[in-house]
Amino acid sequence: MCDPGAIRVQHEEQHQTRLKKARSVLARDTAIGTRRSSTSCQPQVPDSDVFNGLLEERWQMFYRRVLCSIVAGIVVGLSPVSAQAGQNAPRYEYSVAVQEITQLYWLAETANSCGWATRQEADEFEAFAVRFLAAHLSGSYRAALFSMISEAGFQPAVQRVALENRTRSCDQARWREGWTSFKAAADENAARY
């Protein structure tokens, strides 16, 4: 269940599938002339349907990683110091961390917009997600992650997507249960990260 090699192979297979999907969407958008160009360095949030499909795939993988990390932390008895907590943990690739932080921010914003969480709870969860991922990134990737989430347009873009999908997301038990599970895991591990 927690075999890093198997997780990495599965990640690569899912990554290739997402690339194929993204290429087909890009080809479709280019063909009909709706591709938007951007001169900013801010991350672009994909269309809602594509985003939700990618989010669901990444959500399942991230959920498994968090569970593996929690089980490993309990078994090994890691120190409560965040720097030590991330030393022996498997390292994330930057692209994976970017996807996961975006998805975790989206989950927190969805929980807030659906009324499952207060603004303070959503902000605390987002801060935990940053600390957790930063503990699993090398120094330059950590700095790049902080830079990305500090961009003026990042959080508003994620909030916009969460609000646009509010009616559809609030009715789905998987997002509410996911929020409850991830929030509980974040609360339990807040002192470690």
* DSSP 8-state symbol, 40: S
pLDDT of residue 38: 43
139-150 and 119-135 helices, crossing angle to 10°: 160
pLDDT along the chain (193 residues), means of 10: 61 66 60 45 52 59 55 41 47 83 94 94 94 88 89 90 91 92 92 87
pLDDT of residue 34: 42
Residue with tokens 């646009």: 164
pLDDT of residue 127: 93
The CB-based long-range contact list for 22-29 (8 Å cut-off, 24+ gap) reads 22/46, 22/50, 25/50
Structure tokens at 36: 């938007």
Length of the chain as a residue count? 193
In SS3 terms, 74-134 reads as: HHHCCCCCHHHHHHCCCCCCHHHHHHHHHHHHHHHHHHHHHCCCCHHHHHHHHHHHHHHHH
Those residues whose C-beta lies under 8 Å from the C-beta of residue 69, and which sit 6 or more positions away, are: 89
